[in-house]
Amino acid sequence: MTALVACGIAGAEPGDCETQPAQTRNKADTNLLRRYPNVETHNLARRAALETPRNAVSEAQKRLQVLDPGGPGAAAQREVIKRAEAESDRINSKFDAELKHLRELWDGGAIRRLTPQQNTPPHLGSIDDAIVKRPPDRWNFR
């Protein structure tokens, strides 16, 4: 198996595999910035993601109040609470890491890393090429 096939690009040119992680990272950063243009939208998404485990804990605590404390139902509800709290911790950790990265991007990290040439699909060339080229006549809908 060649290194080019191993990196997932059959028929790629030598050197393409080294740029793939950077291109993937730039695309992920662009998507992240589109999804969360500011802190408020990120906080709203965090709250929405935490709503499900928070509701699970609340419902399980209500059920615990009516169950026999030593019974199997109570043990199951305590397990639900434990798992929901672990899920909340996982969600918060993910959003904390994401927020740290977003702050770097918002502070100009994205501008330094995403140059116009990197944002242009390879088949279009530069933006000047796209403006100068006239679309085929079949695109004329008059």
Task: Flag whether pLDDT at 15 surpasses 80.
Answer: no
Q: Given this model, what pLDDT does residue 138 score?
A: 54
Q: Output the average pLDDT for the chain.
A: 77
For residues 50 and 69, give the distance between their C-alpha atoms in angstroms, rounded to a whole number.
Answer: 27
Task: Flag whether pLDDT at 127 surpasses 90.
Answer: no
Mean pLDDT, to the nearest integer, of 68-79?
95
For residues 114 and 116, give the distance between their C-alpha atoms in angstroms, rounded to a whole number.
Answer: 7
For residues 135 and 142, give the distance between their C-alpha atoms in angstroms, rounded to a whole number.
Answer: 14
Q: How far is CA 43 from the centre of its chain?
A: 15
For residues 2 and 97, give the distance between their C-alpha atoms in angstroms, rounded to a whole number.
Answer: 35
pLDDT per residue as tens digits for the range 77-110: 999 999 999 999 999 999 999 999 999 998 886 5
Model pTM score: 0.61
